[in-house]
Amino acid sequence: MSRYYEFFRGYTPTPPKAVEGGIKASNKRGQFAKKWWGMRWIETLESFNIGARLSRGRSYARRGQVASLEITCGRVTAKVQGTRSRPYRITLDMKIFTSRQWQNIIDEIVQQPIYVAQLLGNEMPQEIETVFKKAGVTLFPEKRRDMETECSCPDWSNPCKHIAAVFYLMGEAFDQDPFLLFALRGMERAEFMQILSNSTGETGSAASETVTAEPEPLPLEPELFWGQAPHSLPDLSVESEPSLHAALPKRLGPISFWRSDQDFMQKMQESYRQVHRQACTRFEALNGGRERGN
């Protein structure tokens, strides 16, 4: 017995094989997710009480052992490199909602315009879980049996450290794109936006009565087209500081698994601010020159 104990007391786990181009966690220490919905996802994993496999999963995620990760409707597939030559294959399946259930969810969302605005800005409303519960479903898994996980590794435990590594990186991915959570429940971002637009847009007779004005034809004579410059221009003003920068990139959504020392959306917002300030400066200069000319 003592020899058996002495043998395993001196045992050193074999480190996993390095992965070239693996998906490394952006955060090298501390929490993996910063947004409440990403943190909520990781809380689900940590509530499973899988012990030391959590710390090993965190280590794998930070070392870049996850070779690939894809989130589609109701399923996650990944490859994680361990100590063997071939990466382990991982799948995670979640129950997808029916079309009727999703319509009930969207009907609840459109009743609160602030929810619509937040979602269009790539933010998940804090009350979204209540919205799903009113529709009779839950966005996040509440129990381990709410999702099925599988890994091709020889570890008897489930979830294993390889699945844990994928969980942590999924938390980061949800931070960047909350609509991936919807995809896990069977609703892709583009489809959700289309249904949301249909639910909030004009419908029925009001829309059918809309009349499209005929465009005025352009004159053939260049002089009539260009005309004479007006002697005075109307007073114009530029908003000193818009409430939302980079609205269009936010509508387009984040880049999946963006890995850089700089946050893409933050840099886009800074660029939009700089362009806005330069436009204001040039406008003020032109407006001042016009007043002096008058």
85-135 residue pLDDT tens: 899 999 999 999 999 999 999 999 999 888 988 888 888 998 999 999 999
Alpha-carbon span 269 to 246, nearest angstrom: 5
**Which tokens hold the place of 221?**
């004579």
Q: What is the mean pLDDT of residues 205-233?
A: 57
Q: What is the mean pLDDT of residues 195-202?
A: 73
Structure confidence at residue 2 (pLDDT): 43
Query: Is residue 293 pLDDT above 70, yes or no?
Result: no
Structure confidence at residue 3 (pLDDT): 46
Extents of the domains making up the chain: 2-199, 237-294
Percentage of residues in the chain with pLDDT exceeding 70?
Answer: 72
Of 60, 53, 49, nearest to 16 by C-alpha is 60
Alpha-carbon span 6 to 146, nearest angstrom: 42
Alpha-carbon span 294 to 281, nearest angstrom: 20
Three-state DSSP class for residue 106: helix
Structure confidence at residue 72 (pLDDT): 92
Query: Is residue 1 pLDDT above 50, yes or no?
Result: no
Judged on CB neighbours under 10 Å (0-12, 13-18, 19+), 174 is buried
